[in-house]
Amino acid sequence: MEDVQKSQSSIAMPIDRVGVKGLRLPIIVRDRESGIQHTVAQVSLSVDLPAEFKGTHMSRFVEALEHWSGDLDYHSFRTLLDDVVDRLQARSAHVRFVFPYFLRRKSPMSGASGLMDYTCRVDGLLKDGKLIFTLGADVPVMTVCPCSKAISDEGAHSQRAEVRIRTRFNGFLWLEDLIEIGERAGSCPVYSLLKREDEKYVTETAFANPTFVEDVVREAAKGLDEHPQVHWYKVEVESFESIHNHSAFAVIEKNNS
């Protein structure tokens, strides 16, 4: 049958990325406590398209996933990207996995146990045979405003914030490391299950450690600077302000290589 995608484009212009997104796929990720964890990822795959081609072969992205092991680590990720490049006859390929990662957390005073989910992601860009591999985690925390606390006779405004960490690194890096760095950066971590004694502890801990969004992003960046394997990072903190009709945010990006 006629291969329309390989026909000449009426507008001879290269496309940086063309592909598919919104695919769901069961995957296996490394878990520091239990060894492995089964989860489900939202997947996007894309390649570059030369100016002379009208379109790409979308079905081949799905075929590449069908032949992939589903075991998410650096080497299998490289295998998937190599396969996408070969199937699509492309110069570059990009794959993104976004998935919930679960950790069992004990409440700080009662010891009550509950699962916390963290949105994590892996990005891979393979271009001219070189792979850029990025690992990230979005970590919720609680923050208390230092200014509000300083000027108020009673209380201060507090809110949830999100610490979004993206890293490139040498060797192997646990998602737990990124999550712990993010949780340490806020006024206090958040929990899925709290009894009354836990709520008291969380409230008092947070109010004893008020933080601006600037404080949080600097603390997270400091933790990433001190991690021996991380050589590049970008950390963004967004504070979902409780007394404003907007969010506050701060970003630090740094290359330590």
- CATH number 3.10.270.10 given to 8-255: yes
Q: Burial level of 154, CB count in 10 A (0-12/13-18/19+)?
A: exposed
70-123 residue pLDDT tens = 999 889 999 999 999 999 989 999 999 999 999 999 999 999 999 999 999 999
Average pLDDT of the residues of the chain:
92
Check whether 4 has a pLDDT greater than 60: no
| 140 half-sphere exposure, CB direction, 13 A CA radius | 10
Largest CA distance in the chain: 78
Asked whether the beta carbons of 218 and 226 are under 8 A apart, the reply is no
pTM of the model: 0.92
pLDDT in tens, 225-242: 999 999 999 999 999 999
